[in-house]
A = this chain, B = another copy of it.
């Protein structure tokens, strides 16, 4: 699907506040309310955009985040699935490069992170090697790719 400038403007508006009324969006982008509503429906139905609640783990007592780089022996997908099943894991991607799988984890403390990596991640069958990249500072996080 291709986005025109008005689609992008609508997304940008909903990026600021996902509950912005259609009428307010309409005024901001120069379309009728109905046109905006149809476009939003089209964007969400097609899977291009989704309007969801996003939480901030640091505000919830999860002070320790890290990316775990993993080297695997054998098939990758079972390992990725096992990682995704862990409650502390919020992001899993299979990659080609110096790691086979990347997993982002959210922990309450160093002890929690240690237990997670040492006991549970390294216990997954097929996990050969892990590299823990502890987060020092989250510099940027964008939810609306391809829009700005």
Q: Can you name 18 extra interface pairs (CB under 8 A) apart from A77-B139, A93-B135, A95-B133? A: A17-B52, A18-B51, A19-B19, A46-B59, A48-B55, A49-B54, A49-B56, A52-B52, A62-B146, A66-B95, A76-B136, A77-B137, A93-B137, A93-B138, A95-B134, A96-B133, A97-B133, A97-B134
* Size of A's binding interface in residues, CB under 8 A: 67
Q: How far is the CA of A67 from the CA of B146 in the complex (A)?
A: 16
Q: Indicate with 1 or 0, residue by residue over A106-148, a CB within 8 angstroms of chain B CB atoms.
A: 1000000000000000000000000111111111111111111
For the complex, is A23 an interface residue (Cβ under 8 Å from B)? no
**B55–A137 touching, CB < 8 Å:** no
**Quick one: which of B51, B57, B91, B145 contacts A146, CB cutoff 8 A?**
B57
**Quick one: which of B52, B131, B140, B142 contacts A51, CB cutoff 8 A?**
B52
